[in-house]
Amino acid sequence: MKLILTQEVSSLGTPGDVVEVKDGYGRNYLVPRGLAIRWTRGAEKQIDSIKKARSVRDVRDLGQAGEIRQQLEALTVTVPAQAGSSGRLFGAVSVTEIVDAVKAAGGPDIDKRRIEVTNPIKSLGSHQVTVRVHDDVIATVNLEVVAS
């Protein structure tokens, strides 16, 4: 099945890319969640508008990406969360909470789809999260999860 991605999918590509996937994956996962649309000649024209919107959001060049990485790595971000007496959280720290905490700490605006949390954050203490600032630039953000 041939699809046009409307949002970034980590294993496939970025918005505006035309990808070939198995029928079930496209029909049951990508299209219902709004991550992709079916490829047609008419939909091919939408690629330009998707790529224009993407270029507005993207970091312009490697120099700017390097500056953003330095800003992020210099920050120590504090995330308040509800926790029990043993230090385990009631739930997990979400990507949206991380974005809000980075903003509150004086960091740059980050697209939440660029944040990668390998293991769910379910305990108090120090944690590290990676942010894909650019295709070639990855920043590591230090999180301090504290009880609220």
Q: How far is CA 136 from CA 10, 59, 112, in A?
A: 14, 11, 18
The amino acid present at 75, given as its one-letter code, is L
- Could you tell me the pTM of the whole model? 0.65
**Choice between 133 and 126, residue whose per-residue pLDDT is larger:** 126
| Range list of H helices, 1-148 | 23-25, 41-44, 46-57, 62-74, 95-104
Say if residues 115 and 127 touch (Cβ distance below 8 Å).
no
Q: How far is CA 131 from CA 7, 29, 83, 128, 139, in A?
A: 17, 25, 25, 10, 5
**Predicted pLDDT at 102:** 92
Whether residue 76 is found in the same domain as residue 20: no
Whether residue 95 is found in the same domain as residue 120: yes
* Structure confidence by residue, pLDDT tens digits, 17-75: 889 999 999 999 999 999 998 988 887 777 777 777 666 555 566 778 888 889 999 98
Q: Which of 57, 78, 96 is the last residue of a domain?
A: 57
* Structure confidence by residue, pLDDT tens digits, 99-124: 999 999 988 888 888 899 988 999 99
Host domain of residue 41: 2-57
CATH number (domain holding residue 135): 3.10.430.100
CATH number (domain holding residue 30): 3.40.5.10
Whether residue 86 is found in the same domain as residue 129: yes
Give the count of domains, the chain.
Answer: 2
